[in-house]
Amino acid sequence: MKYIGIIGRPNVGKSTLFNRILGQRAAIVDNTPGVTRDRNFAIAYWGNKVFTIIDTGGFEPKPKTGLSKQMREQAQMAIEESDFIFFVVDGQTGPTPIDQEIADKLRKSERKIYLVVNKIDHSNDHSAIEFTKFGFGQCYPISAEHNLGIGELLEDALNQVTAIEENEAMLESVATRIAVVGKPNVGKSSLVNRFAASDRMMVSEMAGTTRDAIDTDIKINGVKYQLIDTAGIRRKAKVSAKLEKFSIIMAIKAINRADIVILMLDATEGLSTQDAKIGSLIEDSGKGCIILFNKWDLIDKTDKTALEFEHRIRNQMKFLAWAPMIFISAATGQRVSNVWKVVEKVKEQMGKRISSSKLNIIFGKIEQHKSLPFYKSKQVKIYYVTQANVNPPTFIFMTNYPDALKVSYKRFIANQLRQKCELNLSPLRLIFRKPSGRRTRAVDIS
């Protein structure tokens, strides 16, 4: 998956562009410079392309305050991790010395730079021409606020991005990839070491493509797996000298490379904000997920404790309601062997195919149970349902009004499909499309 970093000085409209690309208000937008202090990550779809977009705080080449230094550091890391950059400038104010300094900095990064001139609200506004002196070739005049010019920018940038179907086909040709993610000190390395120490496993190690990660090839009962461990997060964080700054982006990269993701939580601490953030990234990615509550041996418990834990976590992470949960101790090995049984169940459901005839019979019963709504006084119709792909199971609904169905009805459809098609452990991707149009809207349903 490709990574696009949005870079620019404060208050040029980076977060507005980020939200516009996502089609939702994911980042806080305000006229006050410096509202976005940390990097903000999200998985985005454009047609049949999927990519990760990174929003950053305002980049100041020579920060004067501690906060500005932290924002600059976050932006610098986004530059390093991105495949290409949207360099956003303000078309109303024109080029500034800070813009020039940022341009010089970006030129040294050796990344593909797209110069985005924001706040160009009229086609006859030629303010963007002033920015050609930065030497990045074509300028992309846009208005993030009014959704002007963004389509051309994305079409050009995403020529480099592989279509979703091709990405999924590549994943099918290798051993099942299992990413182990979570915040530092939850026991990721202990779990991987526990797996690797088993007498039933054949182990070989090689450097992973994700920075500071180790891929471990193992074989269990004749089945090949590749573990993606992100235990190197803390070592990278020490280089940056601030908290665990790389933890989220490391998790994103591991998630994107995986077929199934193990989200490790610390039973002694419960669910943290960072845990929930990583969980939402897993759900957005459409990957299979298994939630492991580690350090269960350290909990004072009764016969109801596990159910109480699960109920609380399900309420806090409703978007992963389909993800199976196991209570383990990586240190003692308690229930660790159960992980592989669940992995195979998730893998089976992720790769499940359902015939179009069966799907349409099922949807007919779903519609009888809960009728489709009206849209602008006209009945919404689903003409045909078919499965387009696996990993995750992806269903296309041909309809007269793709944008008319509310999230609640889509969630109802997804829950019915899970129940009737035995897909209770898998994420689903639902795509609503007009029969003769090209425009699609993909929805990952929890």
Torsion of CA 322, 327, 330, 333, to 10 degrees: -120
326-347: pLDDT as tens digits: 999 988 989 998 999 999 999 9
Q: What is the pLDDT of residue 251?
A: 66
CA distances from 296 to 54, 196, 331 (A): 35, 21, 10
Mean pLDDT for 231-242 is 39
Cα(442)–Cα(289) distance, rounded to whole angstroms? 19
78-87: pLDDT as tens digits: 788 788 899 9
Residues 6+ apart with CB under 8 A from 278: 181, 182, 183, 248, 251, 263
pLDDT band at 230 (very low <50, low <70, confident <90, very high): low
Q: How much is the pTM?
A: 0.60
Q: What is the pLDDT of residue 402?
A: 86
pLDDT band at 63 (very low <50, low <70, confident <90, very high): low
Q: Do residues 174 and 257 make contact, with C-beta atoms less than 8 angstroms apart?
A: no
pLDDT band at 68 (very low <50, low <70, confident <90, very high): low
For the chain, domains (ranges, CATH) are 3-161 (3.40.50.300), 166-350 (3.40.50.300), 356-445 (3.30.300.20)
Q: Is the pLDDT of residue 282 over 60?
A: yes
Q: What is the pLDDT of residue 36?
A: 40
Cα(251)–Cα(228) distance, rounded to whole angstroms? 10
Phi then psi for residue 395, to 5 deg, are -120, 135
Q: Is the pLDDT of residue 33 over 70?
A: no
Q: What is the pLDDT of residue 346?
A: 96
Q: Is the pLDDT of residue 207 over 80?
A: no
Q: What is the pLDDT of residue 69?
A: 62
**Cis bond before residue 392 (omega within 30° of 0):** yes
- Please give, one letter per residue, the 3-state secondary structure of the chain: CCEEEEECCCCCCHHHHHHHHHCCCCCCCCCCCCCCCCCEEEEEEECCEEEEEEECCCCCCCCCCHHHHHHHHHHHHHHHHCCEEEEEEECCCCCCHHHHHHHHHHHCCCCEEEEEEECCCCCCCCHHHHHHHHCCCCEEECECCCCECHHHHHHHHHHHCCEHHHHHHHHCCCCEEEEEECCCCCCHHHHHHHHHCCCCCCCEEEECCCCCCEEEEEEECCEEEEEEECCCHHHHHHHHCCCCCCHHHHHHHHHHHCCEEEEEEECCCCCCHHHHHHHHHHHHHCCEEEEEEECHHHCCCCCCHHHHHHHHHHHHCHHHCCCCEEECECCCCECCCHHHHHHHHHHHHHCCCCCHHHHHHHHHHHHHHCCCCEECCEECCEEEEEEEECCCCEEEEEECCCCCCCHHHHHHHHHHHHHHHCCCCCCEEEEEECCCCCCEEEEEEC
Q: Is the pLDDT of residue 183 over 70?
A: yes
Cα(249)–Cα(237) distance, rounded to whole angstroms? 12
pLDDT band at 240 (very low <50, low <70, confident <90, very high): very low
Q: What is the pLDDT of residue 174?
A: 54
Quick count: other Cβ atoms within 10 Å of Cβ 374?
11
Mean pLDDT for 238-259 is 60
Q: What is the pLDDT of residue 233?
A: 35
122-179: pLDDT as tens digits: 766 667 888 888 988 889 999 999 989 999 999 999 886 766 544 444 444 457 889 9
CA distances from 228 to 86, 212, 216, 335 (A): 30, 11, 7, 20
Quick count: other Cβ atoms within 10 Å of Cβ 5?
26
In one letter, which amino acid is 200?
R
Phi then psi for residue 352, to 5 deg, are -75, 140
Mean pLDDT for 393-409 is 89
